[in-house]
Structure 1
């Protein structure tokens, strides 16, 4: 599917109003797409289920919630963010509104030995409720989160969703590679509980890395990706999480 075009359309629905009903076909197609998503780390076991919102603590007017479960090991949070953002963009393509809902709890905190991580609340929405001008969205200035040439990538990838819109990343372009850091600005955490900042920020960087890759592909770049373990505690301001050695397709040069 064309993920790139959906970046401009998607939005976070903090409340669902004037909703339509998701059909059996909508749910069937969504389940089919979920089976096709590509994980960042395929060795980490995950499971994704769709349940009525009433079976969770979410009270945002959604019809259903997509629940993400995972083994608790390695970079499982980053992996869930990477997987979930594929689903988020797919939902926009189907006129299904979405909200990454971090504080929600499902009835089942474990399934098949896997632990609950996060949910996305969803509801069918009229197309005119989606974003019309992405560039009016509130985001950090590009110069705050990107160093060096932007490649036509940084301008768009920065619209990745994040918990409390914290955008906890910095990308540095050396001219041959992109170095991505998880960045925690001292004292800045929005309304997140202090003990949950690093948890949600690790999901956020997975979301961002998928958006970054979509934008690199759209601009004609291939890359070799190296991922790094993120074992830093909350006292560390800047942690290297990934490196992309990039080249441009000849036809784009």
Structure 2
């Protein structure tokens, strides 16, 4: 399974076998972290693996999942930090999926005793390990809004653009809120986020979720050998796209 294929087959795992992973697998994960695609390379980041077999640190929080390992992502406290965090974290999650490792995002979780470097903040904790069951499910079983519910088309788009949109649709999100809305127009995809939060969901998590979705677009573009870039366009108007209760985030430009 490739990282791209994992987009369509991964599921959140909430039951893990409490047993160690092979050291080789952990080494592969750490090496992959050095090869990640970046949205905002000026933002520093650090991954820390918490091993519950050897560490006294505990993870707690709403919807906490017991797992043998937790991956903590810390980012520099700068603009776009949470978007970058989601972009980075999802690539690692997809990679672990290709290795048969189960994963589950732990939104709002805390790691007691974690040492946070100056100028950085914890962005996300991911439970991972060998699943008690399968870490996969068919695309048809994913609970996602239909593409026409999250994307408007100003004109017909190419098959390649449809592939990127389909990958974006499959992105996981906190409480399955799927906060993104898109407008596809020629070789551009305008990205918007919904201005609505709920219990256990806040603006930081929404930015993180948008980063996850953008990583799906980037992984799909790489699969298609397409170049993508992000650009904030002053000419984009919510009124022109009839998107109430949303805010403009960025535009994906394809070439």
What range is the shorter-chain TM-score in? 0.7 to 0.9
Query: How many angstroms apart in 1 are the aligned matches of 2:18 and 2:147?
Result: 34
**Alpha-carbon distance in 2 for matches of 1:82, 1:228:** 21
Q: Which deviations, in whole Å up to 9, do the C-alpha atoms of 1:180-219 show, x marking residues without a partner?
A: 11123x5x63x42xxx411100000000001012223434
- The corresponding residue for 1:209 is 214
Paired residue secondary structure (2:111): coil
Judge conservation of contact 1:69–1:110 (CA < 8 Å) in 2: no
Partner in structure 1 of residue 58 of structure 2 = 56
1:48 CA drift (Å): 0.9
Alpha carbons of structure 1 residues 45 and 155: separation in structure 2 relative to 1, 3 Å: closer
Q: Secondary structure at the match of 1:221?
A: coil
Aligned residues: 233
Matched with 1:154 is 165
Cα gap change, 1:28 to 1:111, in 2 (>3 Å): same
Structure 2 partner of 1:28: 27
1:5 aligns with 5
Secondary structure of 2:219's partner?
helix
Cα deviation for residue 46 of structure 1 reads 1.3
| TM-score, normalization by structure 1 | 0.83
| C-alpha separation in 1, matches of 2:57 and 2:136 | 29
* 1:199 match: 204
Instruction: Give me the whole-angstrom Cα distance separating, in 2, the residues matched to 1:182 and 1:37.
Output: 24
C-alpha change, 1:207 and 1:65, in structure 2 (3 Å) is same
Q: 1:112 to 1:80 in 2, by over 3 A?
A: same
5+ residue gaps in structure 2? 235-243
Deviations 1:14-51 (A, max 9, x none): x2244553121111111111122233111112111001
Asked whether the equivalents of residues 182 and 240 of structure 1 are also in contact (C-alpha less than 8 Å), the reply is yes
2:129 is equivalent to residue 118 of structure 1: no
The residue matched to 2:122 in structure 1 has which SS? strand
The TM-score, its normalising length taken from structure 2, stands at 0.82
1:179 aligns with one of 176, 190, 195: 190
What is the root-mean-square deviation of aligned Cα atoms in Å? 2.4
